[in-house]
Amino acid sequence: MFKRAAKTLYDAVINPPADEELKESWKKSGVSLPVLWLVGKTGAGKSSVIQKLTGYDEVEVGNGFRPCTQTAAVFDYPQQQAILRFLDTKGLGEVGYDPAEDLKLLGKQSHALIVLARVSDNEQSQITQALRAIRKSARHIKPESVLIVHSCLHQVPNDSDRQRAIQSNQQSFEQAWGKPLDYCEIDFTDPADGLAPHDRGIDELRAALADKLPSVQLWLHQQRHDDAESKNFERLQPQVLWYAGTAGLSDAIPLAGLVTVPATQGKMLHSLAQQYDLQWDRRSITEFIGVLGTGFAISYLGSLGGRQLAKLVPALGQTVGSATAATVSFVSTYAIGRAACVYLYKRSVGESIDKADIQAKYKAALKEGGEARKAVLKNGPLKDKRAKNDSKKDAATESNSVVENPNE
């Protein structure tokens, strides 16, 4: 029986489903992308924030936006296998633009709010009015899900004047919301302007956003790496996260995960191999399992089977079993993807395979993925009961929601 189960899983990894099948499964799950809503006056730097976070240039960001209302647009990142959605509305204070409807509708669809304010602009009444409106219409957005971003620091060169301006605006925003709000300071400039550093505050912004959106903190916590392999993984990490999320969703259903999880992981390994211009075949999977260690396959099969049995226990299995299975599948898929990237990189450049190094990367990714998943389950905005009730009330208008299923 063990051999038959192992063969089924092995075949699922070697011959996984096409991406389209995985996308369809994700659609049916009803899971939404985390939505990051950017609010601010024209010139506050909303597009610059998206450019810095995604690494896309101005043209790519401009072409990537698609309208969701007459005055708002969304930008999915990455565009093929999205893990995050940016929501952008017209600049507050623009002539002829009444933000009332946008603030009422879009607040219900967002999970975190970024408010951008230029340090040199001491007229922020439009933003304070917007904050009051959002607080009333989108009660699921808690103070801890709001980030004030004070931008364009170079426009007030004197340190004392700049800090006074920041504190004045911050106080106004907190009074409007009625609670203390987190904030950070950024100054994104064109390198040609000669203002160094041209990306001041980017690390602080990423760290702050990771707290607001735990489900994408693995991506937001990308660090600067000196070695080529780690830089490659920065580029591939969103893809690995997408597959990890898919595996976690499929394993929440009793018995389904027995095949869908390894199939999803197999598709991920195939896709990663293609990125390195390599074939993922029986030789590859055998060698890769060997690199991870002799106990990996036995542990993997035992863990997968045990999770399915746990989900079949009446009442308990449908809560604890499913939640645990989804978490373990997310974490293990992320760790397998991280280890595979090291393995594939070494093969692609003809370097010797260092088992100890790959195993260390695998274990580190297990820990990293576990911490991120715990944060999602503990703090994730989608868990908010009021948000769930709002979503039921808005079911009639769901087709117009900016929170669509990914990859539609």
283 with 353, same domain: the answer is: yes
345-388 per-position pLDDT tens digit: 999 888 888 899 999 999 898 888 777 666 555 544 333 333 33
Give pLDDT, residue 64. 66
What number of CA atoms fall less than 13 Å from residue 239's CA on the CB side? 21
Total domains present in the chain? 2
For residue 296, give the amino acid letter.
F
106-135 per-position pLDDT tens digit: 777 788 899 999 999 999 999 999 999 898
65 with 174, same domain: the answer is: yes
138 with 247, same domain: the answer is: no
> Which spans in 183-256 are helix H?
202-212, 217-220, 228-250
41 with 20, same domain: the answer is: no
Helix (H) or strand (E) holding 368: helix 355-379
| 398: in domain | no
Q: Is 405 helix (H, G, I), strand (E, B) or coil?
A: coil
Contact residues for 150 (Cβ-Cβ < 8 A; gap 6+) = 117, 118, 119, 166, 169, 170, 183, 184, 185, 186
Q: How high does pLDDT run on average in the chain?
A: 74
65 with 156, same domain: the answer is: yes
289 with 191, same domain: the answer is: no
What number of CA atoms fall less than 13 Å from residue 320's CA on the CB side? 8
Q: Is 142 helix (H, G, I), strand (E, B) or coil?
A: coil
| 6: in domain | yes
Q: Do residues 84 and 191 touch, judged by C-beta distance below 8 A?
A: no
258 with 363, same domain: the answer is: yes
Beta strands across the sheet bearing 35-40: 66-69, 72-77, 84-89, 35-40, 112-118, 146-151, 182-185
- Given a cut of 50, whether residue 215 has pLDDT beyond it is yes
pTM of the model: 0.58
Give pLDDT, residue 407. 37
The DSSP bridge partners found for residue 69 are 72
- Given a cut of 50, whether residue 68 has pLDDT beyond it is yes
- Domain holding 265, by residue range, is 2-29+227-386
**Candidate from 191-205, 245-259, 267-281 with smallest mean pLDDT:** 245-259
185 with 334, same domain: the answer is: no
152 with 282, same domain: the answer is: no
| 404: in domain | no
CATH number at residue 205: 3.40.50.300
| 377: in domain | yes
**Candidate from 225-234, 330-339, 377-386 with smallest mean pLDDT:** 377-386
pLDDT confidence tier of residue 295, bands split at 50, 70 and 90: low
